[in-house]
Structure formats: C-alpha cells, structure tokens
Structure 1
Amino acid sequence: MHPMKPRSLALLLPSSLAIDASDLRSKTAKIGQIARAASVFRADRIIIYHDPDLDETELIERILNYAETPQYLRKRLIPLADDLRYAGTIPPLRTPHHPLDADKIEIGDTRVGVVVRVHENGSWVDIGSKRFAFLNVSMQKGERVNVQITSNKPLKAIPVGDDEITGYWGYSVARAGNLSRALTLTLALTQAPGLRIATSKYGESIDADLLRKIGVESGSEDVLVVFGAPHKGISEILDEERRGERKNSSIVEFDYTLNVLPDQGTATVRLEEAVVATLAILNLAFH
C-alpha cells in the first residue's frame, strides 16, 4: 500500500509563538517564516490556541492573513494597523493564488478577487488587473471570492468553490480557546477521525518504517500537527489546563508524538524552526 496525500493539513500553534522576539520587527519576521513554511508544505489551516504566558493571537492572525492575501488585494481586504508596520518585509509566498503578473489573464485561470461593485444583474470583482471582472451573480460588496475566468474581452468570470480548485490555494487562519478546547474543536470539525500528530523532544524518533506507516495512515485523512509553546511542551500545557479546570477534562490522545530533531546541536529549537523541520519530515511521509 502506497502513501497518499492527506485530505487536509492543519497546524495548531500557540498564541505565545513570538514570546522570545523582543520587538515588532522580530515578531513579524518570525510569524512570516511560519507563513512561508505553512505555504511551502501546503497547510490548509493554521489554528491559534491560547497560551496564558502570552496572548498575541490578534497580532499573529493579522500578520498571517496579510501574508496569505494576494498583494493586489491587501489594500481592500487588510485594514491599516500599527502592528502591520513591518509586514512588507515578509518574503512573498509565491503560491499559485499570488500571480507575479496580475494583468496577464487567460481563459480558465483561477483568481482570488474582492467584490467592488454590485448590481441587481451581477457583480464586479477586482482580480488584480486593470479591469474588473464581471460575475453574473449578485454578491456582497467587500466579499472575498475565488473566480474562474470565462471571457477576456469583455472580462467575465464565474465564482468557484474551494473544493473545485486543484492545487494549493493558501491557508485560512482561525483562533481557538486553550489547547484542550482547540483539540476538541478540531476533532469535531473533521468529517473523519483524522490523524493527530504531536511534537515533543520526548517523542518518538523517526525512521523509515515510521515514516512509511504515517504515510499510509495519513492517506485521504485530515492531518493535524500540534506544536507546544516556546517555554512549555504540549504535555505540560495540557496538565496545567487540567489542573485549572474545575471539572475533569477529557484525556487528549495523539496518534503519534514525534521528536523530529533528535540529538539537536543547540540548547533550544525555535518554534519556527520546529515547524519547518516537522513539516519537512512529514512531507516525506505524505509522498
């Protein structure tokens, strides 16, 4: 039996992921690295869980959304904010929905757009070109929409759903409660049992047999990869949450707990480094 690609890949990250960054520029760079890693390895969702040590959920969410939004739509979709001061320094994602030349349009192309004008007979959508594309359907002004080009002169398109798009099309960002609730929520949202993978320096070291096993089990499943906080591992976080709950919390179980960097040469591994290392290893399993 050969490995199959996961149906979806979600990352669960702490709100304290930038706690070791001393200023906004450094925090932006760290979050930008995570955006790049998530895109390189085709993550579909990034979920931020609350860590009481530091709650920068809003900052993380805003910067991740900024990075994921095509450059030509940022002024329309991303409100001005002081904490986006250094967002322009984030390297471009260069994903399929971030075209280098937005004016180069061919019939059949898929684009991300935003509705800029609405009429009873249809809507006009900004897709990054000098001309707006016309959709023969009324939509809500300001709505983000995926469209497929059906005509160049005049420029027309039809809306397409996420499930109709082939290839990688970016990630969505969501926020959850604490880690226990986030795990419960993600389990409830999946239509299949899925595969839940925790990362830990106390986890199982990876070899070829384990990679093969993960690859087979992840086929056509929803895969969730969970990362601990910079100063606390997953087990410690869950133990603290259980002690803080007045009622007994359900036991959280993972299919795998992995140590992707055994015998590391540094005293610590930064979270953005752990994300890259973990996803690179799992990418081998998924292919």
Structure 2
Amino acid sequence: MGALRSRKGPADEKNDKSKKRKASSVVIHQNDPSDASQSKKRKSDADDQVDDIDTSRPTAIFKPTRGRDWTVSIALPGSWTLNAKKPDHKTIQVGRIARAAAVFCVDEIVVFDDDPSNVDPRVVSDHYIRQGKGKKSKQEVLDSILEEDEPWQNPDQFLFHVLSFAECPPHLRYNAEDPSLSIFQEHQNLKWSGCLPSMDMPHHLRSHEWSQYREGVVIGPAPAPISSTPKRKKSNVSASDELIYAYVKCGLPFPVRVPIPSGSPIEAAMRTTVRFESVNPPSSWPHLSYEDCESLQATACASSLPREESGYYWGYNVRRATSLSAVFAECEYSGGYDYTIGTSERGVPVHSILPGSTAKSEKKAPESFNHLLIVFGGVAGLEPAVANDSKLVAMGLGKQTAHDLFDAWVNLVPGQGSRTIRTEEAVEFGLCALKPWIDSMYGEEE
C-alpha cells in the first residue's frame, strides 16, 4: 500500500532531524474538565491507538470469504445520458454508474433501449433516418451512425462502450507498444475517458500485488513447454489432440504461457481470465524473471470462476438488450432472474420490502435469491419503457400496470426534496438501500 508522501527540501529534512513530530488525533468526545487525570490517561491511550492506525490508501481491500454462485444485476437505458450536452459531462455521469457498480459489487449491467420502435428525430440526424431506400428499422438506423456521432445520437452504445472500458483493468485497455494488442482502440466514445474515476476493483491489480487470478490479453501463440510435450505412442494420434498454448499478458513483468482448449482459435487482443495453479506467489515475487514467468503454471478460465470458486468480486459484465422485455428474455443465467425489482416514485418505500422490516408490505423480498435484477428507468421513468415495448403490451402491460412486470415496485427516496431523482443517483441510492439485504446472502461468516 502506498503512503502519502510530501516533497521536502534539504532545509526541511534538517529540521525533521532536530524535532520529532507527533501524530495528529481527532477529538471524538469532549471530556469533563473536572476529571483531568482521567482525561490525560485517556488522551495518552488514544495517542497510542492513533499511532497504530494505518491511514495509508487504499485500506479497504476486498477480502473474499467463500465462493458464491448468486449474482446482482442492474439494468438501465442509455437515453438518460441525453440530458448532458457535452461529451465530457456524459462520460462523468457514466463514470458514476460504473463507480457505484464497483463499490456495491454488481456482477452485471444491462443496457436496454426504452423506446425500441421509434427513432427520435431530435436525437438522430435526419441524414441517418432518410439515407438509403425504403423504411429502415431503428436498429438499422443506429448501425449506420458514424463513430463521431455516437456519443450524441446512439446513447445506448455510448453507455455500453464506456461502461465496458471502465470495467477493464487499466493495463489491458491500451497497448502503446503494439496498438493491435489493445482490447480497446481509439474511439470517439472514449475520447473523454480521462474523466472517469478510478474503479480500483479487485481484478485491477497493481504490479506488486499477487492473486491466484488475473485478467489478461492474448498476445500470440506460444510453444509447448518441453516438460509437457506428449510422446506419441500410437500413429493414429493427430496433432489436433495435443494442447496448444498462447502467451497472455496479465500485468506481470513478462507474459505467461497458458494452455488453450484444442480447436479454439488463438486471437490476439482477446481478453481472458487466468488462474494460477498455486494460491501463493513464487519465491522470487515480486521480482520475476522471464524464466519465472515461463514456469508459472496457469490456465485460462471463465471470468465467473474467481467469484464462484473463491468469492472474489471480479467486476461486472455489460450486456446490450434491444428492449426492456429482452432484458429478461436474454438473461444469461440458468433459470433467469428469480427476483426482480422495478424502481419508481410511485412504488412502495424500498425499506418496506426488506426481510425483517416491520413496515406493512404485500410483497416482502425473500430471505435469499439466486440472481437479483434491479431495473432503473430513464428521464421519464420505467413506465414509458413498458408501454413502448410491443411484447410487454401484448402481455397486457402498460404505464398503469408496469409494476406487474416485477416482483417488487419500490420508491428509492420517499418524500424526496428535489422534484427529480437522476438515473445515476437512483442507481447509487438503490444499491445503498439494498446493501444490508444483499450482504445477508454471505451469511454469518461475512
């Protein structure tokens, strides 16, 4: 952990040798003046405790307890970014979503279109709407939008792109030596990525931090290690039955050699999660030589394995959905989302649905869940997203019955002082309000 350092000149260093500075302390309680002796004693004890407190940053390192198979997902439309007129402001707002997802350990973010059938001429240029012959679908119009216009005219793609960039470990985003090995290429959507806050998630490892798991990028094929080269005993054993290897750059001084499943293509700039065989770092850590990195036993694995096997929070996946109904229909988890929450100022107070709450509520949240989904609306709320979805309308849902789509319909800030709750604020408020319930999923050991 890095400590804060100040720049000192020769005169300052000389003065430091002549006098010893005491650690500063904060007064929590005001002592009774009549109890002077006890006050001095308590002050002395407090000073000793302050000396033992580690105030360097970061201090709140994520500490996994045990593997978990349950997940938390959020879904929101990209239309809310249209409120910001400047691209740097848009990026800052998206950064708040990404930051909230990181802080509250969100596993998946779904970006959906809250008006899938209509192309708003106030958003998309008439040039894209009318070009070509015949009437085009909204998706065809969006696909024709040029890169330089995406931040303003394709908000869902802009949100998806920036969220994906923010989640990626910084050392994998760009490769200055060989841009072709970068996970992200230069793009108009990412031009203001410098405005994004630091995510600092567990998989955003520093070079000196060891973990059994790391995120990496494939940089090319690798020869098989000499010790693992199989000896062919039968003439009918083909080359395709042998393991193939790739070099993966994962933040260590040199790439590591990783076996790839037979028949799988080795694509440069492909991101992968790497699992090392040993939980403990090698003896030469963190000063690894080329030979040390070559000898590390590692395998490529699913990005969900650090969570499922060891309980790490390993960032969030980002998924696009063409409509609100597609958020549910295209869920990638087996069995789908088993508990869903819609957010609206017309819902019940969020605390009333939580288990253990004494507030009266018709629909209490269950004690546990497998895959939780929390859905947030755009500027006009979730109701228009339901009414604009033809599949949901065919099911008899609309603005008045939007709440029937969800297991719970909640108001995140009852009695709000401001007339509006911005979407990025709603995400923060919602995740914060639900955190005690979500944390209960860890059980007594957490």
Q: Specify the TM-score bucket, using the shorter chain as the normaliser.
A: 0.7 to 0.9
Query: What is the alpha-carbon distance in structure 1 between the residues aligned to residue 392 and residue 336 of structure 2?
Result: 30
Query: What is the alpha-carbon distance in structure 1 between the residues aligned to residue 393 and residue 378 of structure 2?
Result: 24
Largest Rg, 1 or 2: 2
Deviations 1:217-253 (A, max 9, x none): 26241011111111x22123212334xx798246462
The structure, 1 or 2, with the larger RCO (C-alpha pairs under 8 Å, 6+ apart) is: 1
Equivalent position SS for 1:93: coil
Give the deviation of 1:110 after TM superposition. 1.2
Q: Hey, what does 1:42 align to over in structure 2?
A: 105
Deviations 1:166-200 (A, max 9, x none): 310001111111213323333x8542551010000
Deviations 1:116-157 (A, max 9, x none): 021353111111232111113364332211112346652122
Query: What is the alpha-carbon distance in structure 2 between the residues aligned to residue 228 and residue 6 of structure 1?
Result: 27
In the superposition, the TM-score normalised over structure 2's length comes to 0.57
Deviations 1:19-45 (A, max 9, x none): 211110000000010000011111111
The 5 Å alignment of 1:14-163 reads: 14-52=77-115, 55-75=154-174, 76-99=182-205, 101-102=206-207, 104=208, 106=210, 109-119=212-222, 121=224, 122-137=245-260, 139-150=266-277, 153-155=291-293, 156=296, 157-163=298-304
Whether contact under 8 Å (1:200, 1:257) holds in the other structure is yes
Counterpart residue type for residue 427 of structure 2 = V
Equivalent position SS for 2:111: strand
In the superposition, the TM-score normalised over structure 1's length comes to 0.86
Counterpart residue type for residue 319 of structure 2 = A
Counterpart residue type for residue 268 of structure 1 = T
Q: Hey, what does 1:239 align to over in structure 2?
A: 387
Whether contact under 8 Å (2:343, 2:376) holds in the other structure is yes
Query: What is the alpha-carbon distance in structure 2 between the residues aligned to residue 196 and residue 247 of structure 1?
Result: 19
Give the deviation of 1:163 after TM superposition. 3.9
Counterpart residue type for residue 172 of structure 1 = N
Query: What is the alpha-carbon distance in structure 2 between the residues aligned to residue 189 and residue 160 of structure 1?
Result: 17
Structure with the higher strand share, 1 or 2:
1
Task: Give the unaligned 5+ runs of structure 1.
Answer: none
RMSD, matched Cα: 2.5
1:210 aligns to 2:348 (yes or no):
no
Give the deviation of 1:58 after TM superposition. 1.3
Whether contact under 8 Å (1:6, 1:218) holds in the other structure is no
Whether contact under 8 Å (2:95, 2:163) holds in the other structure is yes
The 5 Å alignment of 1:124-273 reads: 124-137=247-260, 139-150=266-277, 153-155=291-293, 156=296, 157-165=298-306, 166-186=311-331, 189-191=333-335, 194-207=338-351, 210-212=353-355, 217=366, 219-230=368-379, 232-242=380-390, 248-249=394-395, 251=397, 253-273=405-425
Query: What is the alpha-carbon distance in structure 2 between the residues aligned to residue 246 and residue 145 of structure 1?
Result: 37
Give the deviation of 1:265 after TM superposition. 1.1
Whether contact under 8 Å (2:96, 2:424) holds in the other structure is yes
Residues paired across the two proteins, number: 275
Counterpart residue type for residue 181 of structure 1 = A
1:283 aligns to 2:442 (yes or no):
no
Whether contact under 8 Å (1:110, 1:148) holds in the other structure is yes
Counterpart residue type for residue 253 of structure 1 = L
